[in-house]
Amino acid sequence: MIDPKILAARFPGDFVFGVATAAFQIEGASKADGRKPSIWDAFSNMPGRVFGRHNGDVACDHYNRLEEDLDLIKALGVEAYRFSIAWPRIIPEGTGPVNEKGLDFYDRLVDGLKARGIKAFATLYHWDLPLALMGDGGWTSRATAYAFQRYAQTVIARLGDRLDAVATFNEPWCSVWLSHLYGVHAPGERNMDAALHALHVTNLAHGLGVAAVRAERPNLPVGLVLNAHQTYAASNGPEDVAAEKRAFDFHNGVFFGPVFAGAYPRGFMSALGHRMPEIEPGDMETIHLPLDWWGLNYYTPMRVQADEAPGAEYPATLPAPAVNGTKTDIGWEVCAPALGDLVRRLNDAYRLPDCYITENGACYNMGVENGEVNDQPRLDYIAEHLSVTADLISEGFSVRGYFAWSLMDNFEWAEGYRMRFGIVHVDYATQVRTIKKSGYWYSVLARQFPKGNHSGR
Ligand code: FCB
């Protein structure tokens, strides 16, 4: 087992250790205090979409257990908490009246963090689009980008004075491709045209959101959280090598390109550009506004091979088998070196600001035995990925923090409650929280920070 104190010595003294969650996955109280449904309420209440037809009505009941959960974060000894704000609590119909009671909840959350000396990293959009906006086409409609801008401005006007950092979006790859092309996440579309519209509208909303944050709070660090994919070709054959390049553009370039270089990837545009919505004058400048930081969510690599079926739609790739035998309980290949390859490659391709690892962690479903949860494989997973992170820092990459996904077991989207990522176990029948072995280990590590060797920063 990696000694957390020895690992700690490999990080600069101002490195931020935190834990992460998202509103829909933990809050519950789905009808409380004026909240209206999101697309995830509708999706999870529809049979066949989410495992066991689980939904977010109760989740971890965090909405009603706020103080106790903040005490838990404090007890873990971490310096920062990454959480998301539920748009359907703040502007329940997406546009129209602002719900003060929704804002009050996040006021209490942020004040509770401040009172405990914990930094607040807020995410504005972690997938819970107000359902009413689906009436206009949801993320496929340009109007949603402007609705998001107003929501962003509303949140920052109220909370911005006490936030330490804000991200516009969490993983647009999921809310675009996984939600509109692969049909796995809400709203469950399987349509390239819908997905291409969602892509540009989401990128535009990000840029409009950045502008809204800056207009309210020019000094609040604003960023974007991306689940970049480390793509590997299945073989050295020219077809697979070309397929891997297309996959990189399709899964990464369509977000990194506009945001960090002001353009969609060329190959992607020649294949699919004619099916994109109109890119209006000024859009690319808005999307390309400079960011103070970016967040990387990393779990597993993406291995691809060429799809040689005639007429295969761009990017014309098929999944290729895992190379490492070790998989987590959700079936994801464990491959820590891919995290290093990914950060090096992205920095090669784009000029990136400071990076935070905003999510990393593993699904292991072991339960409580004699009051304890022995999740050694999760501990090992986190330790290995932190070790790669320390390597990256020593190579000179500006990685400033790491957030374990997740603070506690929660609603794992299409997998419902059966897949557990927490460093704290949740018994959903009693809502009892039990810190797992990985949680105690992470706590020893996190408690070393901040420390005195700020290595010249
Ligand atoms: C990420 C999501 C997060 C969680 C983890 C396991 O894609 O951002 O909400 O579900 O995966």
Whether 359 is catalytic = yes
With H, G, I as helix, E, B as strand and everything else as coil, classify residue 424: strand
**Pocket (CB within 6 angstroms of ligand 1):** 22, 25, 170-171, 174, 227, 297, 359, 405, 412-413, 421
CATH superfamily of 4-446: Glycosidases (3.20.20.80)
Structure letter (DSSP) for residue 453: -
pLDDT at residue 454, as a whole number: 60
| Domain edges within the chain | 4-446
What letter represents residue 331's amino acid?
G
Cα 348 to Cα 335: distance, rounded to the nearest angstrom: 21
The separation between CA 325 and the C-alpha centre of its own chain, rounded to angstroms, equals 26
Q: Considering the entire predicted model, what is its pTM?
A: 0.98
Per-residue pLDDT of the chain (457 residues; tens, 9 = 90+): 789 999 999 999 999 999 999 999 999 999 999 999 999 999 999 999 999 999 999 999 999 999 999 999 999 999 999 999 999 999 999 999 999 999 999 999 999 999 999 999 999 999 999 999 999 999 999 999 999 999 999 999 999 999 999 999 999 999 999 999 999 999 999 999 999 999 999 999 999 999 999 999 999 999 999 999 999 999 999 999 999 999 999 999 999 999 999 999 999 999 999 999 999 999 999 999 999 999 999 999 999 999 999 999 999 999 999 999 999 999 999 999 999 999 999 999 999 999 999 999 999 999 999 999 999 999 999 999 999 999 999 999 999 999 999 999 999 999 999 999 999 999 999 999 999 999 999 999 999 999 876 654 4
Residue of 27, 79, 171, 189 with catalytic role: 171
Q: How far apart are the CA of 298 and the centre of ligand 1, in A?
A: 9
Q: How far apart are the CA of 325 and the centre of ligand 1, in A?
A: 22
Q: Is 81:407 a contact under the CB 8 Å cutoff?
A: yes
Cα 445 to Cα 285: distance, rounded to the nearest angstrom: 41
User: Could you tell me the two tokens for 269?
Assistant: 């545009």
User: Could you tell me the two tokens for 111?
Assistant: 């004040």
Q: Is 12:100 a contact under the CB 8 Å cutoff?
A: no
Cα 393 to Cα 160: distance, rounded to the nearest angstrom: 30
Q: How far apart are the CA of 453 and the centre of ligand 1, in A?
A: 33
User: Counting atoms of ligand 1 from 1, which one is nearest the CA of 170?
Assistant: 8
**For residue 67, with 0-12 CB atoms within 10 Å meaning exposed, 13-18 middle and 19 or more buried, which class applies?**
exposed
| Sheet of 302-306, strand order | 231-233, 302-306, 317-319
The count of residues in the chain is: 457
User: Counting atoms of ligand 1 from 1, which one is nearest the CA of 174?
Assistant: 7
Q: How far apart are the CA of 123 and the centre of ligand 1, in A?
A: 13
